[in-house]
Amino acid sequence: MKKNVYLFGAGKAEGRATDKNLLGGKGANLAEMNRIGLPVPAGFTITADYCNRWNELGTEKAIEELKPEVEKGISHIEEIMGAKFGDRENPLLVSVRSGARVSMPGMMDTVLNLGLNEDTVAGLAKKSGNERFAWDSYRRFIQMYGDVVMGMKPESKEDEDPFEVIIDKIKKEKGVELDTELTTDDLQKLVARFKKAVKEVTGNEFPTDPWEQLWGAIGAVFGSWNNSRAIYYRKMNGIPHHWGTAVNVQSMVYGNMGENSATGVAFTRDSATGENIFNGEYLVNAQGEDVVAGIRTPQEITLEGSRRWAKLQNISEEERKEKYPSLEEVMPEVYKQLFDIQKKLEEHYKDMQDLEFTIQEGRLWLLQTRNGKRTSAAEVRIAMELLEEGKIDEKTAITRVNANRLDELLHPEFDKSALEEATIISKGLPASPGAATGRIVFFADDAETWKAKGEKVVLVRIETSPEDLSGMDAAEGILTARGGMTSHAAVVARGMGKCCVSGAGGIRVNYKERKMVAEGKEYKEGDWISLNGTTGEVYEGKVETIEPKMSGNFGKLMNLCDKYTRMNVRTNADTPKDAKVARDFGASGIGLCRTEHMFFEGDRIKAVREMILADDEKGRRKALDKLLPMQRGDFEGIFEAMDGLPVTVRLLDPPLHEFVPQDEKSQADMAKELGVSPEEVFNKVESLHEVNPMLGHRGCRLGNTYPEITEMQARAIIEAALNCKKRGIKALPEIMVPLIGTKEELKMQEEIIRSTAEKVFEERNDTVDYMVGTMIEIPRAALTADEIAKTAEFFSFGTNDLTQMTFGYSRDDVGKFLPIYLEKNLLEHDPFQVLDQTGVGQLVEIGTQKGRSTRPELKVGICGEHGGEPSSVKFCHRVGMNYVSCSPFRVPVARLAAAQAAIEENK
C-alpha cells in the first residue's frame, strides 16, 4: 500500500528537505528541521499526491482510506506532546496547514487551534492557568474554521469578513482599540456571537467533535488547491495544476499566552539589499498571521533594526524603548537562541532563509523555513557573498541568479512608495525596461530642442521610424500607441537601454493638436507622464526615480560566468558610444552593426535622399560618393571602440521608402533642397511605395539591383579598417549580407565585396583580414544552408525576420492579435521575445548543421532580439552556436544565461 502520511517530531522525521515534490516545501522543511535538531512542534504531513486522490475519491471515501494513517499520526503527536486530542483535561490542539512544492503566498488556507469546543476550552484554561488565552484561542479557531472550512470568507476584498464585523462591534461597545485589550468575558461573548453568526450564515451548527473538525479542515486544505485565487496564481506563474498541495497537521504552540509569549518572522539576510544582516519582526502575545495582518504595529527583532526603524518613523529612542522594544532587548535569552538557529539554518540550506517562529512562555519553536524571496540586487549579492563565505561553489552561485531579472540592476527604477500613489492611465507592452518620467512631446525634433533647454521629455508617437532616432535618444523614454516587442521603437529603445512602452492601444495620439487621450482624459504637450518599461504601465504626472548602482558583486559574477561559458556574447551596436557601453558590460565583439542608422546622423540624410531620388546609376554614384567618407568615419569610430574584437557590419537592409519624407510639407522642403519640383519628389516617393515592404525591395535585393550601394559600403568598411591599421588599431571586419534566400544572391554580393576590397588593397598597397558572411533570416536560406555555406564564412541567424517569416506574422502588426493570442493560450510566449524552439528553432538547427556540413569551421551566431533572452540563449548554446549578440544592456543577461547553459549541460 502507498504511504500517504509522513511523521515528524522530537528530532526525527520520515521525510527530508529533498522530498518537496511529495511533502510540499513546508512539510519537507519541517521534517528537515527536525532532523537537524531544531525545536519544531510534532506533526505529520499528508502527501501532495493525495490531493488529487482526495478530490477524485470524494470526501467520504477518502476519509475511509486515510483514517488509519491519520489516526496513527495523531497518536504520534499525542505521545510526543503529552496531551490528548479532544481530551477535556489535557487537550491537544493542532494546526492544519497547506503547503505546495513551491510557495504560493496567501493562496491557500490554514486553520489554527483545531480541537477546541466548550469542553476542551475549559481544559485548556485549567491546564494553562490562563483563561483569557484559552478563549482567545477558541474565538480565533471559530473564525478561521468558519472562514476556511465553512466558506464564510468573503469572495471579494471589498466585502467584510463577518467575524471582523463582530469584533469591531464588541471593541466599540467596550471602547477599546486592540484585540489584546479584550477581557476573558469579552472573548466568551465573542465566541457566542461567532457561533450564532455561523449558524445564521451557513445554516449549520459549528462542529464540536474534534475529529469532525480535523477532517473538515483537511478537506478544506485539499480543496483550496482548486480555489479561484490558487488557480489564477498557478496560471500566472506557470505552476502545473496536477502538483497538488500537501496537508500538514501539527501540534499547536502558543504565542498568545501572555507577555512572555510572541510570534514572528525573520530573514537571515536583508531581502531587499542582500546585506548579511539578521532581521525580522515579532509581536508579543500574538498568534499566527497577526504580524503581517497589520492590526498592531510589529516590532523589530534586532536592536539595530529597531533603532533604524525608529529613526525612519521619527520616533525618539525613549518612545521606541518603551513602546516598540526589540526582541533582543525584551527576551535576550530567546533572542540569542533564535540568532544561533537562523545561522544554523543558513549554514544548512546554504541560502538565505525566511523563517516563522513562535515563543510560548519563553520557549522558542520553529514553524517554517524556506529560501527567502528577494530582489535581483539581493540575489546577486547573496550568491556572491555565500560563495566568498565558502558556503556554495562557483557553479551554484551562477545558477542562483535569475537571468531574466538581471535587467533590474541596469536601469533606473521608480521609487516604490511614489509608485504606490501614482495613477495608471494606460498599459502597453514592456518593450524596454526601466523607468522614465518627463514632459510629453510628440515630435522627435521637439524632443531634441526641449532637451537642449534642459527639459526632461517623454516622446509619445503613434509609432516611431528611423527618422525619430535622435529624438528618441534625447527623450527619457518612449511611448507608442502601436507596435509590438520588435517594433522600431522597442528594438531601438532596448538597444539604447532606454525605457519604452510600446503598443499602448488605449491611448489616442493627435499630432495636429499636440495632445493625446487616455482613459477619457486629455494630456497636452508639456504635461508630465511616467513610464514603467518593466511592466508596461503608464502613469499620470511625475513619479520619482532612483539610479541603480552597479555593485562590485555584479562585476564579480560576470567574471565568474566567463570561466564557464562556451559561447561568446557580442552586442548589437551602431555607434562608438553603444559599442563602448557594451564593451564595458563585457561584450566580446559586435554581432550586428546596422549601417542604415548611420544614414540618419546629422544632415547626411540629404545625400541618402539624393541617392534614392537619382534616376540612374550615375546619379546614385554621385550621391554615394558623398556618403562614403561619412560611413568610413563611422566605421573607424566603431573599429576603434572595439579594437581587437570582431565587428559584424550588415549591409543596407531596410526598404528605401523609410528614408524619404511621407508628408507634403517635408516633401516640399526636400524638393527645395535638391532643386527639383515637388511633383518629382512626390512621384518618386509614390513609386517607392510597396504593399508589403517587409517582403519587398530590401536587404540584399537592394545591393543586387543597385550594386553601387554595396560597393560603396564595402569600400567604406575596408578603407576604415586600413586607416585603423595605420593607427595601430586592430579592426576585424565581418561583412554581412542581409536577407539572403538563394546561394546566387550571396554569390553576387560576395563578388562585389571581394572585388571592391581587392581594388582598395591595390590602391593602398596594404591589406587587412576580413570575412564575408550572411544572415540566415529567410526559411529558404536555412533549408539550403549547405549551398549558402559554400560562399558564406559565417552565419548570423536574424531571428526577428526568421520568426516573422516562419510564423507569417508581420512584426509591425502583431500588436493587433498577439495579446489576444497570449490571453487565449494560443501561444505560450510572444515568439518575437522568446525564440520558438519547436518551429523557428528547427530552422536554426537545420541551418547550423547544414552549414557546418559544408564548412565545418563555420562561425555561427544569432543577432535577433532573442540573443538577449535567457531561454533562447540557452537554446543557442545547445545548438552549438559560437556566439549570441544582443543589445548592450542585455549583454550581462546573456553572459549569465550562457554560463548557466554550459553548467546545466554538464550536469
| Binding-site ranges for Mg ion (CB under 5 A) | 368, 777, 798, 801
In Å, the largest CA–CA distance within the chain is 107
Q: Is 597 a catalytic residue?
A: no
The 3-state secondary structure of 785-819 reads HHHHCCCCCEEEECHHHHHHHHHCCCCCCHHHCHH
Q: Of 280-339, which residues contact ligand ADP (CB under 6 A)?
A: 288-289
| Least distance CB 90 / ligand ADP (angstroms) | 17
Min dist CB 457 to Mg ion, Å, is: 30
Q: Which is nearer to Mg ion, 147 or 476 (CB)?
A: 147
Q: Count each helix (H run) and each strand (E run) in the chain, helices first.
A: 36, 34
Residue 603 CB neighbour total at 10 angstroms = 9
Contact pick of 149, 341, 367, 598 for ligand ADP (by CB under 6 A):
367
**Least Å distance between CB 250 and ligand ADP?**
4
558/553 Cα distance (integer angstroms): 9
Strands 279-284 and 299-300: antiparallel
CB 563 within 8 A of CB 394: yes
For the chain, how big is the Rg over CA atoms in Å?
34
Q: Which of 24, 25, 41, 216 binds ligand ADP (CB under 6 A)?
A: 41
Instruction: Note whether 110 binds ligand ADP by CB under 6 A.
Output: yes
Residue 420 neighbours by CB distance under 10 Å: 9
Pick one of 252, 378, 444, 504: the residue that binds ligand ADP (CB under 6 A).
Answer: 252
Nearer to Mg ion, 655 or 815 (CB): 655
Among Mg ion, ligand ADP, none, the one that 289 touches (CB under a kind-dependent 5 to 8 A) is: ligand ADP
The interface mask with ligand ADP, positions 490-519, x = CB under 6 A, is ------------------------------
Give, as one character, the DSSP assignment of residue 180.
G
Name the minimum Å distance from CB 580 to Mg ion. 25
CA–CA dist 106, 128 (Å, integer): 31
Given Mg ion, ligand ADP, none, residue 95, with its beta carbon under 5 to 8 Å by kind, binds ligand ADP
Nearest 5 degrees, angle CA 579-CA 581-CA 586?
90
Least distance (Å) between residue 106 CB and ligand ADP = 6
Determine the angle formed by the axes of helices 184-202 and 131-148, rounding to 10 degrees. Answer: 20
Instruction: For residue 810, give every residue at least 6 positions away whose Cβ sits within 8 Å of its Cβ, in sequence order, or none.
Output: 692, 694, 804
User: Judged by CB, which is closer to ligand ADP: 114, or 492?
Assistant: 114
Q: How far apart are CA 440 and CA 437, in angstroms?
A: 9
From the list ligand ADP, Mg ion, none, pick the one residue 369 interacts with, judged by a Cβ distance below 5 to 8 Å according to partner type: none
Q: How far is the CB of 4 from ligand ADP (least distance, A)?
A: 20
Q: Among 116, 80, 79, which residue's Cα sits nearest to residue 95?
A: 116
Residue nearer to Mg ion on the CB measure, 24 or 503? 24
Q: Which does 34 bind (CB under 5 to 8 A by kind): Mg ion, ligand ADP, none?
A: none
Give the one entry of Mg ion, ligand ADP, none that residue 250 binds, where binding means its C-beta sits below a cut-off of 5 to 8 angstroms depending on kind.
Answer: ligand ADP
Nearest to 794 by CA among 780, 810, 775: 775
Pick one of 300, 356, 830, 865: the residue that binds ligand ADP (CB under 6 A).
Answer: 356
SS (H, E, C) 864-890: CHHHHCHHHHHHHHHHCCCEEEECHHH
> Which of 76, 411, 488, 657 does the annotation list as catalytic?
488
Helix (H) or strand (E) holding 524: strand 521-524
Contact 379, 352 (CB under 8 A): no
Using the rule CB under 6 A, is 361 a contact of ligand ADP? no
Q: Is 355 in the site for ligand ADP (CB under 6 A)?
A: no
The listed partner (Mg ion, ligand ADP, none) that binds 798, CB under 5 to 8 Å by sort, is Mg ion
Residue among 595, 601, 701, 681 nearest 638 (CA) = 595
At residue 838, what are phi and psi to the nearest 5 degrees?
A: -70, -45
User: Least distance in Å: CB of 135 to ligand ADP?
Assistant: 17
Does the footprint of ligand ADP cover residue 358 (CB under 6 A)? yes
Residue 112 is a binding residue for ligand ADP (CB under 6 A): yes
**870 interacts with ligand ADP by CB under 6 A:** no
Nearer to ligand ADP (CB atom), residue 74 or residue 590: 74
Q: Which does 358 bind (CB under 5 to 8 A by kind): Mg ion, ligand ADP, none?
A: ligand ADP
The catalytically annotated residue of 863, 866, 876, 877 is 863
Following CA atoms 220, 221, 226, 228 in sequence, which dihedral angle do they give, to the nearest 10 degrees?
Answer: 80
Q: Determine phi and psi for 701, rounding to 5 degrees.
A: -65, -30
CB of residue 273 to ligand ADP, shortest distance in Å: 24
Q: Decide if 561 is catalytic.
A: no
Options 189-197, 246-254, 339-347, 769-777: segment touching ligand ADP (CB under 6 A): 246-254
Among 20, 84, 97, 400, binds ligand ADP (CB under 6 A): 97
Q: Are strands 507-510 and 499-502 parallel, antiparallel or unpaired?
A: unpaired
Report what 252 binds from ligand ADP, Mg ion, none; CB cut-off 5-8 Å by kind. ligand ADP
Sort residue 570 into left (φ over 0), alpha (ψ -120 to 50) or beta.
Answer: beta
Q: Would you count residue 425 as binding ligand ADP (CB under 6 A)?
A: no
CA proximity to 112, closest of 357, 292, 288, 261: 288
Site residues for ligand ADP per CB under 6 A: 41, 95, 97, 110, 112, 250, 252-253, 288-289, 356, 358, 367-368
Active site residues: 488, 863
